Amino acid sequence: MSSQTSALVMGVGPEQGLGAALCRRFAKEEMQVFVCGRTKDKVDAVCSSITNQNGNAVPIVTDVTEIKQVEGMINIIRDSQLPLELAVYNAGNNLPQKFLDVTAETFTSMWEVLCFGGFLTSQAIIRLMLEQSEVARRQSLLFTGASGSIRGKAGFSAFASGKGALRMLSQSLAREFGPQGIHVAHVIIDGVINGDKVVKGFPEYAEGLGKDGLLDLDAIAENYWNLHRQHNTAWTQEIDLRPYKESF
């Protein structure tokens, strides 16, 4: 299959994870998908499952907090000659901890992944999108948020600080680059994702949430695709997603 446009997902981990689900969804639209994560085995596995379904996926192993690696990632995308129409900053980590136990190193490394990588990659992506604006049909830059993007709960000081800052970054970029045709939007995942991170990492907790207690991966991915497809006279800057029975 030959693709006319491309999509980039940054922060791709296990096949049962949001990053991978976004890659699969965009590949269904015949886009060439750049699958970016920091662990080669995981990135390769996601690419193989897409190509096995006749999709078009290219692995890029990049740590999104390292400027040289981000430059390398953008060069691969630019060299592909396909307009980059859709990019998602999905990289994230979490480490619930009592505030007095959070070290400066933990706080800094969480912030680097949750926010600084969003800054580094957005700058490179927006530069590329502006270069390509004549040839792209539409251009979207989407960010994955969490409950912590809008609410700092006890035990989540580092996580909420990073996610809150990423949300503000997305708002600044939306206001600066929306008028230049780049749709910047932020997706608040307000609940637990039905993916490996929690289902394998905290099985009892996941089970305790019961039927429909976790957000379905494909259902989340559909919402990202819908944001990208919005007509430019009716853009959304932020959406929140949660299971119907989640209390909020």
Ligand X SMILES: NC(=O)c1ccc[n+]([C@@H]2O[C@H](COP(=O)([O-])OP(=O)(O)OC[C@H]3O[C@@H](n4cnc5c(N)ncnc54)[C@H](OP(=O)(O)O)[C@@H]3O)[C@@H](O)[C@H]2O)c1
Residue closer to ligand X (CB basis): 59 or 195: 195
Phi, psi at residue 47, to the nearest 5°?
Answer: -60, -45
State how far the Cα of 150 lies from the Cα of 159, in Å rounded to an integer.
Answer: 11
Q: Quick check: 55 binds ligand X (CB under 6 A)?
A: no
Binding piece for ligand X, criterion CB under 6 A, among 52-60, 86-94, 169-177, 178-186: 86-94
State how far the Cα of 70 lies from the Cα of 85, in Å rounded to an integer.
Answer: 18
Q: Quick check: 83 binds ligand X (CB under 6 A)?
A: no
Q: Quick check: 128 binds ligand X (CB under 6 A)?
A: no
Nearest residue to 90 via CA among 175, 25, 4: 25
CB contact at 8 A, 166 and 173? no
Nearest residue to 17 via CA among 184, 190, 186, 200: 200
> For ligand X, what does the binding mask look like between residues 189 and 228, x meaning CB under 6 A?
x--xx-x-xx------------------------------
State how far the Cα of 103 lies from the Cα of 106, in Å rounded to an integer.
Answer: 5
Q: Quick check: 91 binds ligand X (CB under 6 A)?
A: yes
Q: What is the nearest approach in angstroms of ligand X to the Cβ of residue 97? A: 15
- Show contacts with ligand X in window 5-34 (CB under 6 A): 11, 13-14, 17-19
Query: Applying CB under 6 A, which residues contact ligand X?
Result: 11, 13-14, 17-19, 37-39, 42, 63-65, 90-93, 113, 117, 144, 146, 189, 192-193, 195, 197-198
